[in-house]
Every structure is written in structure tokens, then in C-alpha cells.
Amino acid sequence: MTTNRDSFLIDLLILLVVHILNPILPMNLKYSDFLQARDMAAFVATYPPLEQVTQVKGQTVKFQAVLEIPNHLEKEPWEVSLWYSRGEKSTKTDWTEAAFALVDQSHCPVSLHWPSEDDLSRLYFSVQLPQAELSSINFTVKFRQSREHSWRWVRDEHGLADGLVIIEKPNQKNNSDVGLPGLIHDLNPDLKWKSHVSQCPGTQLWSIGVPVEGAGDDKSTFATVPLGIPWGHFVRWFALIRDWSPWLAPRQGKSGFALDRDALLCSFLSFEGKHLVFLGISGPSDVTALFSSDQSGKLMIHIRNDNPNEKTGTVLVAVGDNFENANAAVMYHARGLGVASTPTAPEQDAGEQQLADEVKARWYETWYDGLGYCTWNSLGMKLTDEKLLNALDVLAKHNISISTLIIDDNWQDIDYSGSGQWQNRLNDFEAEPKAFPKGLRSLVSDIRSKHKNIQTIAVWHALLGYWGGVSPDGPLARRYKTIELARQDEDAERRNLPLGGKMIVIAKEDVSAFYNDYYRFLSSCGIDAVKTDAQFMMDTWTSASARSTLTRAYLDAWTIASLRHFSNRAISCMSQVPSIIFSSQMPRNRTPVVCRNSDDYFPDSPSSHPWHVWTNAHNALLTQHLNVIPDWDMFQTTGSRQHPSPSYASFHAAARCISGGPVYITDIPGQHDLILIKQITGPNPRNNRSVIFRPSVLGKTIEQYANYDDLTLLKVGAYHGRAATGTPILGVFNISNRYLVELLPVGPKYFSGVLDGVYYVVRSHSNGKVLGPVKVGGESEKLMTVGLGVAGWDILTAFPMEKFKRGDGKGELYVANLGLLGKMTGAAAILASRYSLQENGRVFVDVLVKALGILGIYISTLPDMEKESSVQEHLMVTIQGQPLPPHTVSVNKVDGHILEVDIETAWKELGLEAGWANEIEVKIYFPL
């Protein structure tokens, strides 16, 4: 390698400093060795990606690579080479080399992020392989600075494992030609299975029945039955396991199938690109079917029967060309099983009829569409009325307008008789007399009189009263019949929580009265929502008959009471229990209930933050098909005081925004990131409250087989709007402990809902950079380069564009509504967009949004307008029919194609009022 004199002296100086500061380094370290060590910062990423499985179609397979290197090495003759083998059974001698070619700068992917623009450069390479008779390609990459340097393998340099490309053939055997024995190797011949008509196109569906003996001596009966090995071998597997009693969590693996906990859902990917999904059914006939694995990696069915009679456990199986379709097939069929086999109690029929008679007209909006505040992590366990009122005053002082207040645990009147929170029991409905001396009604009255922005006040309670049930010596035990039940302590030992022992609960015959009285009292105090926690406790009872009879009684009573008194404004928590999922969260005969989607947010546990978001994104693969609004839990906008670096505050905020669920903060009073809060909320002029921007299609991971320890970005896909005209949204999160860079195509793999032949403009929230117009489809997809540091994230939104033909050979004009700029999911502020060409030759854009802020409109000819004269001279912009002040219309500083309309400032300066409407209409006219 040749260097100029200045670089040589600088490098030599650095080498001497290294030796001074690190005397243990060998003194015979050569200068060339030092230079190679210094240049180890080079990083390679590819598409299709290394370490992952990619399914492709087409006549050729195109590999593209980005090489990230220090600036001073950009002019070096870098070489990148693809090392690949054909087919799943290839040997070392079957591997072949193909050289990447350097891509001209004009055809390079758009770099949306730079770790440091002053220090690094990016070079792009590509190579194309003919498909021929290939069914799959294993590949890795090596690179070197020049022919005078040694090859460096990405596995050694970056720890990236080989990638796998599965090539989908158009004449590949159809699912309908394959029976279950052809999909599961060594299928247990004792199992009874039958085929069903799938409700999801392109899939095939079966059910498997397993008989199990009845429970005896009030003890459940268990059975573990071998099922088989999907296809005999597979590429990847994914499962949702019962991490502990209340919660589900993801697990992934490659060729070896090994579960550390029972799983509710399992999926396997074959070498032909088929997805085989298994779902265990729970609830009907008091039988729960789950999955486990044996030492040989065989899939096992694990069944529990709480019914005294012999019953049959049921497992559903579906195969399809993609995971989402196969997953939907088993979930759709499961809904039907629940409706057909679950008897309705007479009191439930009567309760629902009474509810129908009590229905009242009200403004159609969801209570969780506003910003919420929860007291749990913010105010701690020693809650008092003074602490609560002070916290709300501090929020108001900082102009943080919340719509929902959740008064979490420790407001209740409990007996404090146990060794701690988990053993304490509920005395009565009223608030704790010492901490809330004026009572709950007075507290709520004070809150509502002083903080008009708070529309919903919810209180926490455990499903069974409190963590330890109800107090045997309290007023509740005197008013209602109670029974004593024992709890198993399996989770108590594993989670180091005192969950075992006996507890007193309301008996079945009084459960409905208990809930009706409880919620009537809360409603009379001004409470209009509840957070019902600790629902899993029913699954810890050792009595089979109690689980069989009381579980349904409690869930029905809670559902009816929450509908009657709170119009279903309820949060179901610690309820990812199979029996609860299928009996309470699967039925679709009521409005969706908000349901916690994972274990808690732990602000002072740094390692838990990426895992929390990862778990929620994967659990959503199941909960997207339930009649729930997944709740990814509260978070703090300033991060942890104990572990301030790196801060995951915005990481959590972005995850909540793309989740499609509620967003509520739990900030310690006075510790708020106002800039971050502004990115997740916007003011609605009708009721002067802060609203959040929830995508209409829930966020979920789009790479279910990727492992948590893989060096890959977590990708969460969502969508907002109607089919064909809506907006795909992609959240990218670095859950690793190192910087990562990836190449992402603008196509249906990462932006679910994009359509072939349609033009899109993709915008990064984090830096405002834009890629587009991009036409989806064709042999080669447009790529983006995304690079994120530890705790890094971004939200990329693909906005559909309207195209207008211009005369005189001027080409086309492209327009897109970008929603509210500066909001993480500002696309979800869009209520409607209309584009038309008027008779006078001007383009007309009519936009409805749900909140105030800065509206962004992409206009491909905007730079040309600005060259001629000021933009204001070319455009006419109105809000609610009134012209906007000129200074509220400007051109975006990051991209000159984006028009910014400050509708918040215009609204205030024009003195506009919302009236009955809850949307803002903006009209824009400009020349073609």
C-alpha cells in the first residue's frame, strides 16, 4: 500500500501512542499489520442479506453489496467476491466463486443514514447469477482492499453467518397435492387427523385430535404425544412460547428444534420455501394443547385436561407459500372452533340483552387515541393523592396534555397481611384511607375540575381482587361468598416471586354480583376505564375443577361489567394464557379490548429494552388475529436515571407509535423530553387534546425466523389507510450491541401493501431524507442503505404518488401527501387525500388530517417553481376554506421537493374553531 508522507507520519504517531498506552502489545508489530488493524473498520452488508433466509422469484438472482470503509481508503481497488453453493445438500467442493462488479455512483442505492459522514465512504457492488435449475443458494462474502492484501471473510470479520436464498419456481408442486403425512416426517400413526377447507387462499388446513383421560381427584391429567418432524428437516423454525404463566415470548432456531418452554404456536420453513404452522387450541372442553420438543428434535403435543371426562385435545396445521397466509389459516379456523364449541351462559345472554337496551349515542372515537399517563414507574408503589395531583400539575406546567390517566397499583384498600405485594388482599372497593383520605370520588372530582384535558380516568385492579385475592376478614368477604384455592409455585421459583400458597377468591355464584357492584362503585366515583391485571392467576390454581368452572365465570363477569359500566374501556393485563386467549380474546362479538402484548417495561434494566420491543413485535404475529388492540406497555421519555447511556427512550417511543396500539408515558414528574413527546402526539382542535397517530393495520415483525442474536435489524411493518391507496410503514430497530448497516429494497417484502406498477416516495423520519419517485415491481428493486448505531431506529414510510402527464414533452409530475412531518407515524394523521387536474390546468390536492402540525406535500416540480420565483406565487393554499398566511407555507430544508404547510400556526393566527368537525381540511392548488 502506498501512502503520502503526511499520512505515514500520522499513522506512525498513532502506532507509537498505542505502544505507550498498551505496553502489553508485541513490540515486533509491523507497520503493515497496524495499517490492516486500522482498516478493520470496513463493513460489508448484502441483499439478499447474510445470516437470513430470503425467498425470491424471477429468472436471475441479483446480489448487491455495500462496502463501508474509511474515507482515506475510498480510492483503493477494493474487491468483493460471492462464495456460493447450489442446493441444500451441497458439499465443500460444490462452492463456487463469483466476483462482484463495482456499481456506478449514479445507480447506487440511496443512503438514508450515515454513522459519520466525515469519516466513512460507501462503495456498492453487484453480481447476477442465472437461476438455471437452482432451488436454493447458500452464500457468503469475502473482500479485500487490493490484490496485494489478503481476503477477509465476513464470518471472521463481522460474525455474520451464511445467507440462504430459496428460489420459488412457478411450476412448484401445489399445496393441495400434498397430504399431512407428506409434510410431517414420521407422523405418529396413532393420531387422528382430517382435512378442512381453509379460509385463506393458497393454504391447506388440517386438524389433529389427541384423546386424553379425564381429570381425577381434582388433579389435571397430562399427556405428551409425539407428532413428527416437519419435512424430516427444515431451514428455520419459530415459536411463541409461554415464557411464564402470564406472558408469551418468541423463540427461533435453525435446523435443530429445541424448546425451553411449552409453545402455543410453531412454524417451520422448508428448503422449498413452504411454511408449516401449528397452533394448539385451548378452552373448548377444558383442554389445553401446547407443543414441546424431545431430545431428538421431534415436535411433541403436550395436553392438559381439566375436565373429569375423557376429552380430545386439538391442534391445527396449515401449510402455505408464506408465513402470514399459513398463520392466518389456523387462526381463522380457530375462531370458528371457539364460537361453535363454547356454550353461552344464560346470565351472559341476559347481560348482553340489557347492555343492548342501555346503549347510548356518543361521538365515535376510541379512548386510546389520546396520549396516556400511567403512575406505575413514575410515582412508584407508595401512591398517594398528593403525589398524583402533583404529577398532573407538573405535566400541565410542561404543557403535556394527556387524555387518559391510568391510576396503577397501590391505590386500593388492602390488608397488608402478607409478606409483600404478591400476598396482600383486597378489603373493599374504596381507595386506601390513609393515602387517599378524601376517597376516590373526591380525587377524581379534583382531577376533572382542574385538568379538563383528561377525558378518561382508569384504575388498576387484579382480576381476583388483589394479587392475593380478597381478605377473609374484610367487608368483601362478608358481602360475597368466597372459596379458598391453592396456587402452584412453579413460576414463583423461576421468577423469584412469592406467587404460591393459598388465596381467598369470590365464589362462582357471586362473581357477577361482585363485578357489577365493583364497577358501579367505580363509575359513581367518576372512573370510566379499568386496567384488569393478574388474570394469569387463575391458571396457577392447582384445582382442575376451579380452572374449569371459575375461569369462564370470571372472564364473563368482567367482560359484561366492563361493557355495561365502561363501554369496554378496559385493559386486559397478564392475560396471555391459552385458556384466556381463546375464550376471552378470540371472539369477535364485541368491540376490541386493549390487551397488554408482552411482559413489563423495566426502565432500569438496560438489556431488557431491545428484548421488550423484539418480543412485542413477534407476539403481534398472534395478537394481530385476536379481537384486541395490542398494548406494548408504558415507557419513559427520558430513559433511565440509573443507566442513561445509551438511552432507549425514543427507541420505545417509535415502537409504540408503529405498534398500532395505545401510547402512554410513565415519566417521573419533571423529567420529560418535550421534543420526543411532540414527535408522538399532535393537538386536535376540536377538544384541545393531544392525539396519537396509530396506523390502521397493527405493527408486527416481518422476519419471524430471524433470531434475537442475529446481526440484523428488527423490522416492524405496519400500514395505514385503505388497500391500494394506503401507506406502508416500516420501523427499523437496532437491537444488537454494535453498529449495523443493511440494504433494504422498496418492495412488498419490507413494505407490505405496496403495489406493482405504482410509484412511491419513501421518507425517513429520523433525518427527513427522501427516496423517490420509485416504481415498484420489475426484475430489479430499488434499494436503500440503512445504518443504525446501538439503540438506533428509524421509521420509513412509503407514500403512494399520484402521477400527472405534462404537455410539451415535460414529462410527469408526481404528488404525494406525506402527512404530518416531524411525527414518527405522521402518515397515520391522514384521513383522506384526493388529487385532480382542474379545467384551468392546475393540480388540486384536497387533504384531511386529524391533528394540527406541519403538513408535508411532495411535489416533483417544486424546485422548478422555486427557481422561477417564490413558491408562494405559484401556489394557493387554504385551511377550512380560508387562505393561509404566506409565511406558513415554505419549502423543506432537507429536500426541495417537499412543501411544508404549517397548519398549526395558521390555525392559531386565523383564529379558527373546529365546531363539530374533528378533522382539518387543507386544499392546495398549483400549476401543472
Write the CA distances from 289 to 281, 297, 311, 409, 782, integer angstroms: 5, 19, 11, 33, 45
**Euclidean distance between CA atoms 894 and 911, whole angstroms:** 30
Residue 429 has pLDDT above 50, yes or no: yes
Between residues 5 and 52, the one the model is more confident about:
52
Contact 659, 632 (CB under 8 A): yes
The pLDDT of residue 362 is 45
Rounded to 10 degrees, what is the CA torsion of 427, 429, 432, 438?
Answer: -140
Q: What angle do CA 295, 297, 298 make, to 5 degrees?
A: 105
What's the length of the chain?
A: 928
The pLDDT of residue 41 is 72
The pLDDT of residue 355 is 54
Question: Which cell numbers in the block locate residue 96?
Answer: 463456487
Relative to beta strand 759-764, strand 793-800 is: antiparallel
pLDDT confidence tier of residue 496, bands split at 50, 70 and 90: low
Give the model confidence (pLDDT) of 55-114 as tens digits.
Answer: 988 778 999 999 999 999 999 999 999 999 987 665 666 899 999 999 998 889 989 887
Show the 3-state SS of 166-217: EECCCCCCCHHHCCHHHHEECCCCCCEEEEECCCCCCEEEEEEEEEECCCEC
Give the model confidence (pLDDT) of 607-618 as tens digits.
Answer: 999 999 999 999
Q: Residue 136 pairs with which residues in a beta bridge? A: 166
Write the CA distances from 513 to 358, 558, 574, 788, integer angstroms: 18, 10, 23, 54
If DSSP codes are grouped into helix, strand and coil, which group holds residue 899?
Answer: strand
The pLDDT of residue 171 is 57
Question: What DSSP state is assigned to residue 586?
Answer: S
Write the CA distances from 247 to 558, 595, 913, integer angstroms: 20, 12, 46
The pLDDT of residue 102 is 96
What average pLDDT does the segment 870-899 reach? Answer: 92
Give the model confidence (pLDDT) of 767-815 as tens digits.
Answer: 999 998 999 987 678 999 999 999 999 999 999 999 999 877 788 999 9
Rounded to 10 degrees, what is the CA torsion of 360, 363, 364, 368?
Answer: -100
The region of weakest confidence among 23-32, 364-373, 902-911 is: 23-32
Question: What DSSP state is assigned to residue 691?
Answer: E
Question: What DSSP state is assigned to residue 22?
Answer: -
Amino acid at site 278: F
pLDDT confidence tier of residue 354, bands split at 50, 70 and 90: low
Q: E strands along 364-470, which residues?
A: 372-374, 404-407, 412-414, 426-431, 456-462
The pLDDT of residue 343 is 46
Q: What's the whole-model pTM score?
A: 0.93
Residue 34 has pLDDT above 60, yes or no: no
Contact 277, 317 (CB under 8 A): yes
**Euclidean distance between CA atoms 360 and 293, whole angstroms:** 52
Closest CA to 559 of 539, 543, 542, 575: 575
Contact 838, 921 (CB under 8 A): no
Between residues 348 and 331, the one the model is more confident about:
331
**Euclidean distance between CA atoms 772 and 762, whole angstroms:** 6
Give the model confidence (pLDDT) of 150-184 as tens digits.
Answer: 999 999 999 999 999 998 876 555 555 678 999 99
